[in-house]
Amino acid sequence: DIVMTQSPDSLAVSLGERATINCKSSQSVLYSSNNKNYLAWYQQKPGQPPKLLIYWASTRESGVPDRFSGSGSGTDFTLTISSLQAEDVAVYYCQQYYSTRSLTFGGGTKVEIK
């Protein structure tokens, strides 16, 4: 299995400040034939199911605010919230979908307001 490791486990950020979450895969999730990174990001608010934010490592899902952005390639990825809003308090997960036999999630990063 591809192991996904997120850091930090949690972070507290002031309203309007930047939040940065890291995700590292144990092997590359870049598919060379199409040059796409098979990496998605989800947001899960308390008591709700996860919600897709980003796919192909950097493509925002329709309706997702542009303060959310994804970057990285190969094995190292980042989710950035450029200006944290109160409604962004949630746990964020990365997921690789390169290995379709066994898709795997990162352990999650909890984002809180400082």
Partner 1 sequence: EVQLVQSGAEVKKPGESLKISCKGSGYSFTSYWIGWVRQMPGKGLEWMGIIYPGDSDTRYSPSFQGQVTISADKSISTAYLQWSSLKASDTAMYYCAKYGGGGRYYFDYWGQGTLVTVSS
User: For binding to partner 1 (CB under 8 A), which residues are involved?
Assistant: 1, 38, 40, 42, 44, 49-52, 55, 61, 91, 93, 95, 97, 100-108
- Calpha distance 49→45 (Å, rounded): 7
Cβ-based nearer residue to partner 1, 71 or 104: 104
- Amino acid letter, 31: Y
Distance in Å, CB of 89 to partner 1, minimum: 16
| Tokens standing for residue 12 | 């507290």
| Tokens standing for residue 80 | 């950035």
Cβ-based nearer residue to partner 1, 16 or 101: 101
- Calpha distance 61→101 (Å, rounded): 24
User: Pairing state of beta strands 90-96 and 104-105?
Assistant: antiparallel
Distance in Å, CB of 29 to partner 1, minimum: 11
User: Pairing state of beta strands 109-113 and 10-13?
Assistant: parallel
Cβ-based nearer residue to partner 1, 74 or 108: 108
Distance in Å, CB of 83 to partner 1, minimum: 25
Cβ-based nearer residue to partner 1, 1 or 76: 1
